[in-house]
Structure formats: C-alpha cells, structure tokens
Amino acid sequence: MQNNEGKKRLMIAIDGPVAAGKTSVGFELAKRLGFLFFDTGVMYRAVALAVLQKGIDFADETAVGELAHQVRIDVLPPSKDDLRMYDVHLDGQDVTWEIRQTEVEDVVSPVSTYPEVRQEMTQQQRKIGLRGNVVMVGRDIGTVVLPDADLKFFLEASVEERARRRYAEIKQRKAPASLEKILAGLKERDRIDSTRKVAPLVPAKEAIVIATDGKKKEQVVEEILESISQYFESHTR
C-alpha cells in the first residue's frame, strides 16, 4: 500500500509490551507506507544511559528529572549497516547500541516512570508525531502521546515468547545473553509498566489488539495494512 499524494497525513500508533513485535512490525509498516518510523522507547533508553554515564542514582527522581531536561536526544536515519533501524544520538554521540546494553535495560523502566521525564519526552515525541505520516511505537502512544492518532494498534504476546525473541535478537548481535535473566527482566518490566501511576501500559479504547504469538512479522504487517485500507475506504465514501 502506497502513501498517495492527496491522502490524509496519517498518524499511526502502535503500543505494546517489550518484545511484542512493535519495532520490527512498525519499521516494516513504515517502509511499506513510505512513512517516518519513530520508536519512542529509544528516548527513555537514552535518558537511562545518561543517568548511568553521569553516575546519578536512578532512584533520585529529582536529579533524573533535571537531567531529562538537559540532555539532547536526536533520532536520525541509520548511518551504518549493522542491523540498526535508526541512529540515536545522545549529546552528539552515537549511542544506538549502547542504549541496548543490559545495564540500561535494568534501569529504563524506573527512570521512565518519573513524571518529569515522561513530560519532557512526551512533548518531544508529540511534536514529531503531529507532522503526520508517521508510525510511532511505544507504550503510551495511543493513550498519551498521540491520543488523536488516526489508527491505534496494540500488539501483545506471552512473556515467554517475548523473552525468546529478545534472546535471539541479542545473540544475533553476538552479544552475551541469558534467557532466564531476560525472562525475569521482562516480567519485572511488565509489572512496572502496567502499574505505574503516570501513563500505564494499557491498550487505548479504540486500539485494535493483535496477538503476535506464532506469527511472522509479515503476517502482522498485513493485518495492519488491511485495517488501514478499511480506514481509507470508510473515510472516502
């Protein structure tokens, strides 16, 4: 499906827990549509990395909130052919893979619960999304960042399936990984993300929920494209 001139500039939101397939599906969908792909989670990871680099206690909410306002985070098209989908720059430095380190994984959820951090990141994310023709993925896109998104999807999968996916992803980069530790980490991330007071992980009321267990990326993309086609048909009658 192509993004033809004259059609409404769409905002597409894709939410879901860690490793439910949001990134791979969202990236492929954006390519097929000719849209901007924006994984909002990288911004929180960049803040978490900055916390570690600065030696700040991630439990110090005030200090972390102040840091979120100070750091410069930018997301750019990929500059290297090393499986990356984009470049992530933190204060001018390429940290695309650094933000995927286990140490960052361990602190990103607590850091992302702080209201000051979420407020700052949400403002930056919304500015990008409102330009339109964007596939934005995260955990609160349809509920908080882009509540007026034209189409909202929520991808879900069992925690065991998601742990296997994350393990395979890390091993593909030839990095050390423990399936047991990844599974435990995902369970804790799910607990934090779904119970936080600010922007908890829940499907938007209008979201189309898609279970991705046992499905290939292309199958999920086709399901979403079909929904987009139906959207255009209903808005051109």
CATH number of residue 185's parent domain:
3.40.50.300
Give start and end residues of each alpha helix (H) in 115-178.
115-129, 159-172
Structure tokens belonging to residue 136: 């934005």
Is 69 a member of any domain?
yes
- pTM, rounded to two decimals: 0.78
pLDDT score at 216: 92
The span from the CA of 83 to the CA of 27, in Å, is 12
The Cα–Cα gap between 67 and 79 comes to 27
The total number of structural domains in the chain stands at 1
In a domain, 235, yes or no: no
Q: What is the pLDDT of residue 3?
A: 45
Q: Would you tell me how many other CB atoms lie within 10 Å of the CB of residue 197?
A: 7
Q: What is the pLDDT of residue 189?
A: 87
Residue that has been written with the tokens 């908890």 in this structure? 200
Round to whole Å and give the CA distance between 169 and 166.
5
pLDDT at 237: 62
Amino acid making up residue 168 = A
Domain span including residue 157: 11-115+122-229
Q: Which parts of the chain sit beneath pLDDT 50? A: 1-5
